[in-house]
Chain A
């Protein structure tokens, strides 16, 4: 029999090993992608796969020659940030009213909003494509911004709603008695208290927009095409070039990964600062 101390120790070793294993498993494809991006095409398809090789930058140079990376990246940045800001502008008042002025229909509205996420996007591809076409919005950033705003809105509203629900309504009532208008109540009391939650919601929305591929591939070609479209453009006609595909994917992921990594520290700080009770 193990003593209590020994069994606790064993437990922590087992849990630690397991978490590392899961973390590595999740990280492995990204690691392999980055690794492959520095291989020659021959090394990339070699069997058995090579862990050690002579690294090269030729894939990145090739991409730089063939396509205008920064134009795609700028589109991604512009579309993701605009869609995120727009959805927050809609979500904050919506979540405020649902969290603090609940009506009989609030719960149903929330569920209905979420249910729209269950519809496969391809189901509305044709009408949306035709709408964009007749409005002259094919290959335009505006179309993507509007669509991303709307498809992420249910999740954004839900998240903001959940963060708002954690804030005691007393605090807002105190502000109301102190003479705050509804805008002051939201702007000077509610938002500062919820800022940690709002920041994580915005980060999630940014990531979702950044990685969205279905609509960007179907509705853009060049002028408004974001990084996802750039990646896709490397995957077809001349056959698969693993190394170049990996390099372009790495370039597509890098900005949002770095942004997420930097803001993570702010987020943790923001979340603990928001503590109300």
Chain B
């Protein structure tokens, strides 16, 4: 079992609040990813859980036991560092067995556990080498192995892939996902890379400025961002934002007049906004269509295009200078400055009120479910 529960956790350094009251639950066998921009407090939160930083206030408990002030080693957690943090003077075998040696586990058990971890991570032939004789990917595997050997309740990962090159990162990401399933382990993973967050997580925790912005499954967050921050943070290329005001409202729809010129009617059961209220419309790049003149709702001018072969990311500007990115299937190369017309996929448009909070597009029944 490994149920972690964090209540009203706060952490300050020299009077600056880094973590500002976080409540979070991590269930047994869950893969939880902390994601957010640099400086959002995600690494600090992980270090607080690990016990490497002292908590200012609040509690952390594991399986009902308060571990807030427990020494790191007593928490039954293992951490994989961004820099791997291998012991440079020890062989791979010694690196793997260090924790067990300290705990005075008998030699036969140590050997069995080390050999098992080495087998899982395909490190058998590297056991007698020193870390500096290993490649980046191999060092990373040793760092993970060091955690596996201890059989911890929770694995903590602090940006473990950011020192690897792009190809190796994709491969290691898959290995981590596989490892999570094989070990049936509970994992908490910190990254600034939203692709890692989307692909690995059962549950994503989006952090910003020391606060939790939203918690949910990757696709839930992608499809139903709770606010402008989450909407803008998740998804590549970024969601486009258009300022506007609310027009006529009835029980099933909400009219939005965009500053860029278009007028849209969005299906919304309970918009909760009065006519004239300012709102922000959010549209993901894949929810625009470029249509022949006269058939769309918004006139824009083509900026540069990024042609990837399979897709084209076409950057455009509206009449009032707002920037949008449109994803077009296949190759598409409009001339710089060419006028284009866009149609919105209104079912997938997001609407945010003046405070940046999402106006939920799900029906009341869906929300309840």
Chain A contact residues, CB within 8 Å of chain B: 168, 170-171, 173-180, 184, 188-189, 192-193, 273-276
Contacts and interface: CB of A to CB of B under 8 A. Distances in A.
B226 interface: no
Assign chain B's interface to a size class: 20 to 34
A171 B50 contact: no
Among B81, B88, B98, B150, the one with the most A-chain Cβ atoms within 10 Å of its Cβ is B88
A179 B102 contact: yes
A177 B72 contact: yes
Contacts of B83: 168, 170
A177 B78 contact: yes
Interface string B128-142: 000010000000000
Nearest to A171: B85
Contacts of B98: 175, 178, 188
6 contacts: A171-B87, A176-B71, A177-B50, A177-B51, A177-B73, A193-B89
Contact of A173 (B81, B88, B89, B102): B81
Interface of B: 50-52, 71-73, 77-79, 81-83, 85-89, 98-99, 102-103, 132, 146, 150
Contacts of B78: 177
Do most interface residues of chain A lie in helix, strand or loop, or is the interface mixed?
helix
A177 B53 CA distance: 12
A170 B89 contact: no
A189 B87 contact: yes
Contact of A178 (B51, B52, B132, B150): B150
Given A174-B85, A176-B72, A180-B73, A275 B99 contact: no
Given A174-B146, A177-B99, A276-B88, 6 more contacts: A168-B85, A177-B78, A178-B99, A179-B102, A180-B73, A275-B132
Contacts of A274: 88
Given A170-B81, A174-B79, A179 B103 contact: yes
B85 A178 contact: no
B103 A177 contact: no
B81 A175 contact: no
A179 B88 contact: no
A170 B83 CA distance: 7
Nearest to A180: B102
A176 B51 CA distance: 10
B73 A173 contact: no
Contacts of B132: 275
Nearest to B74: A179
B87 A170 contact: no
A275 B89 CA distance: 9
A180 B90 CA distance: 15
Given A176-B52, A177-B50, A178-B99, A170 B150 contact: no
Contacts of A179: 73, 99, 102-103
Contacts of A176: 52, 71-73
Contacts of A175: 87, 98
List the 3 closest pairs (A to B, CB-CB), nearest first: A170-B85, A178-B99, A179-B73
Contacts of B87: 171, 174-175, 189, 193
A176 B87 CA distance: 12
